[in-house]
A and B are shown apart, each in its own frame.
Chain A
Amino acid sequence: MPTRRAFLGGLATLPLLPRVALAGRGAGEARLVVLILRGGMDGLAAIPAVGDPHFRSARGAAVGPDETSALDGTFALHPGLAPLLPLWTADELAIVHAVGTPYLERSHFDAQDVLETGLTTPMASRSGWLNRALLGIDADAARAMALGRTVPRLLQGDAPVTSADPTREVRPQDAFLARVSELYRRDVAFDRAMQDALRAQAMLAKARGGTEMGLVAGRGRADTQRVSQIMGAVLADPEGPRIAVAELSGWDTHVGQDGALTRQLGALSDAIVALQETMGSVWEHTVVCAVSEFGRTVAGNGTGGTDHGTGGAALLAGGSLRGGRVYADWPGLAPSALLEGRDLRPTTDIRAVFKGLLRDHLGVPEGHLERVVFPDSATIEALRLV
């Protein structure tokens, strides 16, 4: 793990101007979108294992969904995800079920930390696995952007990344920014944030210029959709980022889960559909990966919700995907099969998903993957997802 000084110190040499490299064909064509679903999505509600003989009895009547669309003999889709059914039919949607991080306890913060650092224990690194992956690929292919007010841990680290909140319109004047940049030269933290911001502004301005974006200030679901549209537009730009990360919170459904989850999954569906529509032909080179820090208890709790659990589900979409299937080493929901008698047992390490996408989709060399990106993952075999 780099020391703090090394972590910050390595950045002083970043170029001042936004990189406007011409995109080559080939490796740089692949697009990866990671959507972090914060709060612990209930994988068993999103993708219910209705064909498991123990499903009904293990869940109880307190939490739904009541009506679902079958995906295969075992799994079905929550009605909130119904807008994604056409993608399933086109083999552009895949599910990885009974998936989890190596962290088996139940703190949101620690579980998110492990999900994003890609290590096995919380607080083990200040950088995220996606950032470390960028260090192993060609600079053109490594252009990455966080869409939102903050850069999540997943994208923090030594590789330069940008961030921008597409829902905000007003910007400081360029001349003033230049003067302020001068003041920031000697302060590493401020200088770094500023250079990153300038790169992001350039990308965003360009993406906006070429699209007819609805500029209605929205909240909640509408906002998510709009962020996704802009994300799609910057990703479709040959000179824009290849990799984008956004966050969707609100998955911590301890109480009244059915209504809340229908809204959440609806927003997630909107986001994926908006990406597909905005990206046009670039969708063919794209994988969208929606992951959460953990799943939730198999049984409903006493308050119409579910508590923090372990195994959950990841959703993948995109034209590059080998979709139309559920990837799962299904552990079953029999009482004896549950982890600690209460949670879906994770049988696929989430890093198998990430390793597969990084290796086969982004072309991250295997050596870099094993040594730098997921150093404790030798026994975890990458899933072939693309």
Chain B
Amino acid sequence: MHRDAFVAATRFGLGARPGDLHVIAPDPRGWLSAQLEGSDPVPEQMSHHGSSQDAIQAYASMRMLAEVDKAAARKDREAVFREEMAARCVVSATTERPFRERWVRYWSNHFTISATRKEVVALAGPYEREAIRPHCTGRFVELLQAAVLHPAMLLYLDNVRSVGPGSRAGRSGRRGLNENLAREVLELHTLGVSGGYEQADVEALARILTGWSVEPSVGGTQFSEKRHEPGRKRLLGKTYGEGHEGALAALEALSRHPATARNVATRLARHFIDDAPQPAAVDAIAKVFLDSEGDLVEVARAVIAQDAAWTPLTKVKSPEDLVLSTARALGYGREGEPMLTALRWLGQVPFSANSPQGFPDTAEGWLGPEALLTRIEWAEDVAGQAAHRVSAIELAEEVLGPVLDTVTRRAIASASPREALALLLASPTFQRR
């Protein structure tokens, strides 16, 4: 069997289940490409979870509660988060379209919001369902606008608190501009840190974004004229008028900027090719991004088309990759809670990155000595639960197939069943993708 099947299943997908490699082997690229076609309805395991409107109203009404009830409301909020994140694990561990799921997760991390801020906890699930999933196979501009102007992002990066200094709400001088969202839009979501913008551009975009806030009584994003900075603003040499269209137009222009194409392509190549991707691959992906006007399906196909993307095992799995691929390999994907517990253990609870930069996407970010010990410890723990019902050597053939090396094979073959499975899960070959 050709190793392309392994790459398709593991690097682009979320890890092979027994039997998957045989299904993929005849046409790995076609298997990936087909997953991008058609709409992507919210998977049924997540569809009964509440909307952002529910979460916002629950949060707003909490202010009126007595302290003791607030504690209960906080518990509820955390339960909502946990349930949906557990369901999300189940979806990923059982899906027939693992590349599509990885693609959704990838963009959720590009446009990171983090439950490290309490206002955002119950909005994490709705954010991905409402802003990311429906748009990450559309045009980048639509995804950008949906993500940046979603209540979760407006809350997470403080835009709800930003008030134009010259606006009606700002004239008292008590409240003013907050640059947080504007800065991250430029630095992370669009142009990238070396994308050629200046502090004045950050301030201009912050002024353009004033007024975009969250109205609890509506339960969603609402544009507030009262907080919007009047007058025209100049961002990257272009002038934007007053009003809510300013933000839409500015995001549209940013989405078309060549620096955005380069930033998006670099980050994609880092995720799908190598921690230090080849410039030629980045150039090729950036070109497709620009030529297709940010058609994200075309961009995904451009990533698949890079020869460099098919060299196996260049990437170290993130904890999420590791937990999901293990669950898929062992058929443990129907219970979400244990996977979520594992993610907590390994340091990657979904939507809990400690900065707007999101989770790291390099080996360096995940493979510190302490982190490695935790991975090994976890591999032992999983093996203790699963060894009685699988043969490690057969499983290794099924999920690693063509990349299973002799050293790993021999180590597995000469160990007790429990140790064999732990060795497989802890081996570099399984820990990479």
A residues whose Cβ falls under 8 Å from a Cβ of B: 4, 62, 105-110, 122, 126, 146, 148-151, 156, 162-165, 168, 170-173, 176-177, 179-180, 182-184, 186-187, 189-190, 193-194, 196-197, 200-201, 249, 254-255, 301-303, 307-308, 340
Contacts and interface: CB of A to CB of B under 8 A. Distances in A.
Given A186-B407, A302-B162, A302-B174, A150 B179 contact: no
A126 B364 CA distance: 10
Nearest to A122: B193
B4 interface: no
8 contacts: A62-B174, A149-B368, A163-B368, A164-B369, A172-B380, A190-B428, A303-B178, A307-B180
Contacts of A110: 193
B177 A179 contact: no
Contact of B178 (A148, A187, A249, A307): A307
Interface stretch (B34-42, B81-89, B395-403, B415-423): B415-423
Given A122-B193, A303-B175, A200 B364 contact: no
A107 B194 CA distance: 11
B386 to A, nearest CB: 16
B369 A156 contact: no
A196 B368 CA distance: 9
Given A183-B423, A187-B428, A189-B316, A254 B180 contact: yes
A253 to B, nearest CB: 11
B96 interface: no
B371 A172 contact: no
Interface string B368-390: 11111110110010000000000
Contacts of A249: 354
A252 to B, nearest CB: 9
Interface in B106-153: none
Closest 10 CB pairs of A and B: A302-B176, A197-B369, A302-B175, A196-B369, A187-B428, A303-B161, A193-B372, A150-B368, A163-B369, A151-B368
A179 B412 CA distance: 10
A186 B426 CA distance: 14
Interface string B150-185: 000000001001110100001000111111100100
B365 interface: yes
A106 B428 contact: no
Contact of A173 (B158, B179, B380): B380
Give the interface centre of B183, B276, B368 by most chain A CB atoms within 10 Å: B368
B33 interface: no
A183 B177 contact: no
Nearest to A175: B419
B368 A146 contact: yes
Contact of A176 (B177, B364, B380): B380
Nearest to B162: A302
B423 A179 contact: yes
A8 to B, nearest CB: 9
A254 B158 contact: yes
Given A179-B423, A190-B428, A254-B180, A302 B161 contact: yes
Interface in B176-203: 176-180, 183, 187, 193, 199, 202
Given A172-B373, A197-B370, A307 B179 contact: yes
